Amino acid sequence: DAKTTQPTSMDCAEGRAANLPCNHSTISGNEYVYWYRQIHSQGPQYIIHGLKNNETNEMASLIITEDRKSSTLILPHATLRDTAVYYCIVRVAGNAGNMLTFGGGTRLMVKP
């Protein structure tokens, strides 16, 4: 799997958009960008994934640059419950054997 680079930590004001960046400059053409988050001492929660087009679901939006070397996860209106460690992972979709490899992630602190 291609490696990812994320900032160690970020702060965001409650109600504002949280923009979490991820660099994946060695991503391959068949690798997707996945985002998970882990709230303290709980199991990681799937958020969203995409290949090259921007994606949006009820939790977040994923913006992938045209060259696919970086992406941004956007939480449009962050709440205190969004405080968590966010992991950006690249892997081949449709291949369950390509297990998720977690890096250090970004610790997002949403402040009142």
Q: Which residues bind another protein (CB under 8 A)?
A: 34, 41-46, 49, 93-97, 99-105
* Nearest approach, Cβ of residue 95 and another protein (Å): 7
* Nearest approach, Cβ of residue 102 and another protein (Å): 4
- Tell me how far apart the alpha carbons of residues 99 and 17 are, in angstroms, rounded to a whole number: 30
Nearer to another protein by C-beta: 15 or 104? 104
* Nearest approach, Cβ of residue 112 and another protein (Å): 26
Nearer to another protein by C-beta: 79 or 101? 101
Identify which of 21, 18, 90, 13 has the alpha carbon closest to the alpha carbon of residue 60: 18
- Tell me how far apart the alpha carbons of residues 10 and 75 are, in angstroms, rounded to a whole number: 13
